[in-house]
Amino acid sequence: MGLRSVLVAGVALFGSLTHAASSFSPARPPAIPLAVKGPYLNSWLHVGSDGGNGGLLYGEWPSFWNSQNTGWAGFIRVDGSTYNWMGAPSGGVATVDQTDFSYTSTRSIFIMNVDNKVEMNITFLTPVTPNDLRRQSLVFSYLEVAVTSLDGASHDVQLYADVSAEWASGDLNAVITWEYNTADGVAYHQFQRQDQEEITESNQQANWGTWFWSTSDEDNLSYQSGADSDVRGAFISNGVLPNTADTNYRAVNSDWPVFGFANDLGSVGSEAVSTLYSIGMTQGGAISLLGEGADLTTYPALWNDYFDNDIDAMTFFYTDYSESTTLATELDNKVATDSIAAAGQNYLTLTSLSVRQTFGALQFTGTDSDPLVFLKEISSNSDIQTVDVIFPAIPLILYTNPDILNYLLKPLFLNQENGHYPNTNAIHDLGTFPLAKGYPDGTDEPQPLEECGNMIIMVLAYAQRTNDDAYLTQHYPILKQWAGYLVDEALIPADQISTDDFAGSLANQTNLALKGIIGLRAMAEIAERTGNADDAQSFGDTATSYISQWQGFGVNSAADPPHATLSYNDPDSHGLLYNLYANSLLGFGAEFVPQSVYDMQSNFYPTQALDYGVPLDTRHTYTKTDWMLWCASIASVETRDKFLQLIAGWIDSTPTNMALTDLYDAVTGNYPDGLAFTARPVAGGHFSILALPS
């Protein structure tokens, strides 16, 4: 053993003596969701070994999905000694000792041991209420800290938490204004950019809106706004804040303004003493869309329809904690019970990590009677309403509330049915979030076959689950137009990109053709449901003819084992045939695509498995979690469980350190070169098994 090894061993031993390692259940995810309720309230703790700190709440700053800090600091003072429990503030204070982390669909829970004297239970709860739009419309999240004695003795405890102005602007040079106030028993720091620039972003964060950091207004509460070192320093020195407001409004990075609360919990014994905080934002106008009329329409954030003003919205959220926890527990339990019953713990490890991430990409707008939901693609680029990003996300939407799919498709129909898009195929996206100005010149990213298939499949999936055939009638002309495109282009796909655009373009993509053909079969059912019998016959006949020809073009039946190809006339190529999932999602089953195709792929995938998954196709070793789950959900139990075992193992050990990526290298478990996807809503696709019709 050389000197270097001795030193490393010494450090490791020292580390293990001072801090027991935290346990993680059900897994140690690449990043931990802290407050993830919309594209702009999107704060995570980086975990993965490649830059994260291993999943401890202290020692690094929580950060926005795009990596900039969302300053969030916590201290606890026990019998006169102060410890840091969140964030990475300077000041040389000792840290608490994290002993456990666990997550559910809506909660991230940290357990801290403070010097063997008290235990902290720190719960980040982001409500997800797909069937309660009033609550879903609130872009707010909770933080609850419960403290109990660990050693049987009572301890004198003060608790501190702050947020920085970084939450309110991605431009650190922007000037922030703030004030402290109380309303309806809630104490709050309100802060915002002085220069409100509606419908614009800096570094992916909104340039407009008002932020609220709130807690209960009690005698034991003290507060302060001011420079980070002053406010945190006051608590560290005194265990209390001076109840003063800094009125020198300034840039985010100018003596870093922070907004602090301190609570004197008094003497804490075996009974838990809890403090509740909430963080969130309100906006008036939220999204501009080129839809009805010749000009952009700005849609209000949906909360405006339910509340008179932002203070009412904020206090409602804060005081709604009891009902929110009940609803959150219902959702947590539903996802847990259904995931376990369907496919076991490995599946739940993935699904429960995907709920907040998916809903966190959605912006709810409009009114209760006419809601529109906008989606931000996140990280691959900032497109708004990307059709082939909505498409992979729909399993979670269909599983929780299919109406939300209608609200997501509405902006796309408004844009195209009002004549703002010249091409006969379906549009790819509506622009760059939050400005949905469409492509009146038809220059969107060209994925014509992909999006025609996606739109028709999604529309039918919604109508089947809601029996909303009037919806099909309403959109019939444009759906028929897109189906016409599929008749012309689906069987022999021209050289083009698919949704996996990063993999490059290719002619005759087997999987893409299959999507188009299933889209035609879907159009036959749409025609039937709307009383267009001749169209139903014609689209149905074409689909039947195409699917039998497709097997001739796209299957290498001489291979051992046989498999679908990546592209026609390239017999050794192959890939994930994930579009076959749509055939099952729509209930067409073996009556349309023969069971032999399902069996063939199910037998083939395990032969291609690498350490962390089955590659997307023969061009690269990277893979995608959403598409693997689409394949897994329609495979044999053995093959499905193999996929789930590889993915759950990857989650627990990946070096990636940002919010769950859907794209990674199946050999290294890391990001592929130059493709660090993060926080994308396609994670909704992990609910593929639970979205299938029973």
Ligand X SMILES: *[C@@H]1O[C@H](CO)[C@@H](O)[C@H](O)[C@H]1NC(C)=O
Q: Which residues bind ligand X (CB under 6 A)?
A: 109, 111, 121, 123, 146, 218, 220, 264-266, 273, 492, 507-508, 553, 568-569
Q: Is the peptide bond before 26 cis (omega within 30 degrees of 0)?
A: yes
Q: Compute the distance between CA of residue 330 and CA of residue 83 in angstroms, rounded to an integer.
A: 34
Cα–Cα distances in angstroms (integers) from residue 398 to residues 395, 402, 491, 649, in the given order: 5, 4, 28, 27
Cβ closest to ligand X, residue 121 vs residue 653? 121
Nearer to ligand X, 81 or 333 (CB): 333
- Of 164 and 222, CB closest to ligand X: 222
Which lies closer to ligand X via its Cβ, residue 340 or residue 492? 492
Sign of the alpha-carbon torsion through 465, 630, 410, 208? positive
CB nearer to ligand X: pick between 36 and 689: 36
CB-based contacts of 291, cutoff 8 Å, min separation 6: 297, 411, 414, 415, 418, 420, 436
Which residues are bridge partners to 664 per DSSP? 623
- The CB-of-121 to ligand X minimum distance in angstroms stands at 4
Least distance (Å) between residue 215 CB and ligand X:
11
Identity of the residue numbered 424: T
- Using the minimum distance from each CB to ligand X, give the nearer residue, 342 or 507: 507
Smallest distance from ligand X to CB 574, Å:
17
The least CB distance from residue 492 to ligand X, in Å, is 5
3-state helix, strand, coil in the chain (%, to 5): 35, 25, 35
CB of 643 to ligand X, least distance (A): 30
Residue 383, beta-bridge partner list = 432
Q: Which is nearer to ligand X, 239 or 684 (CB)?
A: 239
Work out how close the CB of 268 gets to ligand X at its nearest, in angstroms, rounded to a whole number: 9
Are the C-beta atoms of 140 and 41 separated by less than 8 Å? yes
CB of 262 to ligand X, least distance (A): 12
Pairing of strands 257-268, 221-227: antiparallel
> Residue written as tokens 């490393």?
8
Shortest Å distance, C-beta 551 to ligand X = 13
Q: How far is CA 11 from CA 7, 152, 222, 405, in A?
A: 6, 33, 40, 53
- Cβ at position 57, least distance to ligand X in Å: 14
Nearer to ligand X among residue 289 and residue 331 (C-beta): 331
3-class SS letters over 406-446 = HHHHHHHHHHHHCCCCCCCCCCCCCCECCEECCCCCCCCCC
- Nearest CB to ligand X, comparing residues 272 and 610: 272
Rounded least distance, CB 577 to ligand X, Å: 17
Q: How far is the CB of 385 from ligand X (least distance, A)?
A: 31
CB of 283: closest distance to ligand X in angstroms? 29
Choice between 121 and 194, CB closer to ligand X: 121
Tokens 């129909």 found at: 413
- 241 neighbors 224 (Cβ within 8 angstroms): yes
| Integer Cα distance of 81 and 84 in angstroms | 10
Q: Which is nearer to ligand X, 109 or 175 (CB)?
A: 109
Instruction: Output the smallest distance, CB 573 to ligand X, in A.
Output: 12
- Tell me the three state secondary structure of residue 76: strand
**Rounded least distance, CB 271 to ligand X, Å:** 10
For the chain, how big is the Rg over CA atoms in Å? 26
| 448 three-class SS | helix
Closer of 172 and 492 to ligand X (Cβ): 492
Report residue 46 as tokens: 């980086």
Rounded distance, CA 190 to CA 42, Å?
18
Nearer to ligand X, 476 or 568 (CB): 568
Query: Which stretch of DSSP H or E encloses residue 339?
Result: helix 321-343
Measured from the CB atom, the residue of 120 and 457 that comes closer to ligand X is 120
Q: Which residue is nearest to ligand X (CB)?
A: 266
Tokens of 413: 């129909």
Which residue in 646, 677, 661, 685 sits closest to 502, CA to CA? Answer: 677
Q: Report in angstroms how near the CB of residue 277 gets to ligand X at its nearest.
A: 14
> How many whole angstroms separate alpha carbon 202 and alpha carbon 515?
37
Identify which of 408, 193, 460 has the alpha carbon closest to the alpha carbon of residue 289: 408
303 vs 366: CA distance, rounded Å: 9
CB of 325 to ligand X, least distance (A): 7
In the bound state with ligand X, the residue whose beta carbon lies nearer, of 490 and 527, is: 490
Nearest Cα neighbor of 392 from 382, 377, 407 is 377
Amino acid in position 101: F
> Which residues lie across from 364 on neighbouring strands?
373
Query: Residue 309 to residues 190, 280, 282, 502, 691: CA-CA distances in angstroms?
Result: 14, 14, 9, 44, 37
Alpha-carbon distance of 265 to 275, in angstroms, equals: 9
Which residue's CB is nearer to ligand X, number 51 or number 266?
266
Q: Of 171 and 570, which has the nearer Cβ to ligand X?
A: 570
- Count of other CB atoms within 10 angstroms of residue 549: 14
| Structural tokens at position 344 | 């076991």
- Cα 482 to the center of its chain, rounded Å: 29
Residue 64 CB, nearest approach to ligand X (Å):
25
